[in-house]
Structure formats: C-alpha cells, structure tokens
Amino acid sequence: MENREIVIKNCFNAWIEKDVSIFADSFAESAVYIESWGPAYRGRADIIAWFADWTRENCVLEWRVKTFFHAEAVCICEWYFECECGGEIDGFNGVSIVNFNADEKIISLREFQSKTPNVFPYELRQARNTHHERGERSPHRRENVSVATHSPKTGDSLCL
C-alpha cells in the first residue's frame, strides 16, 4: 500500500517537475488514463505523448494529495490540483481511482473533479431571510452580492 502511495505521489510530482521519465515509469504498457473532464488515453505510449504535449505549453503549480484509501489492487486518493494553462491559473479539488497490477504499475487512473471555490447556497439564503425578517434591505442585492464559499487550500469558509 505504501508503495502505491509513492507511485501516485511521484506521478503527480512528475507533472510539476515536467519529468517524463518518472511519469512514464508509473504506468503499465496497457494502462488507461481518463481525465476528469472526459479525454481518455489508452496505452502507455499515448499517455506519455499527452503528458509531453500538455507540459510543453502548460504548467502544474500544485498537485497535493490530501488522503489515500486502499482496497486490494485499488488506491483512491483525494487531492488539490492547480495549474497555469493558456495564461490562466485554475485549481480544483479531485479524486483519482487508481488500479495497479502485480508489478505496482498503474493499469488505470480515473480522475474526478469538484469545482472550487465551493458555494453554500443555503447559507446565502439564510442570510437573505434574516435581513428580510428584520425589515432591513438585504446586502445581497445584485450590486452587492455576497457568496459563502469554501477555500480548497485551507478548508476555511469564506464570504465573498
């Protein structure tokens, strides 16, 4: 189990370092990699080609694993990802489901993402109702909108 965590951390760190050799060594020849937004790559050669193409123009700034869960040949990890792509910086929380073969190589990796910051619409609704009950003008009108959010890096609640 610990070795699988090291493989995953090395794989993610390879994106930051743009190190194709460490990245390539993580995958079995017949591996499949499915990105969180749909594209899929079948076979180690396609996965490596995609890595090389993407890292040539873009930069992963952070890919921090928060938690690991293990079940037989499967490792699930929760993480935070941030990159600069096309001059824009973006980040999100995610989960990867990673299957390993007997040689501790990745045979499939499926990503899922959660947009950030998180929005808590019922907290916003409660704030509006409180102002209405008091007969006050709501500070949440269009010209002064307040949104309760959750910071992906710190886990703190924010009010924007």
pLDDT, one tens digit per residue, over 114-150 is: 988 888 888 877 777 665 666 665 554 444 444 445 5
The helix/strand/coil state of 63 is strand
The predicted structure's pLDDT at residue 116 = 84
Q: Are both 54 and 128 inside the same structural domain?
A: no
Q: Are both 68 and 93 inside the same structural domain?
A: yes
Dump strand ranges (E) for 35-150: 40-42, 59-71, 74-85, 88-100, 106-115, 118-119, 148-150
The predicted structure's pLDDT at residue 52 = 97
- The stretches in the chain having pLDDT less than 50 are 140-148, 157-160
Q: Are both 74 and 103 inside the same structural domain?
A: yes
The predicted structure's pLDDT at residue 139 = 52
Tally the domains of the chain: 2
Q: Are both 45 and 96 inside the same structural domain?
A: yes
**CA dist 154 → 27, 43, 114 (Å):** 31, 36, 15
| Range(s) of the domain holding residue 94 | 2-115
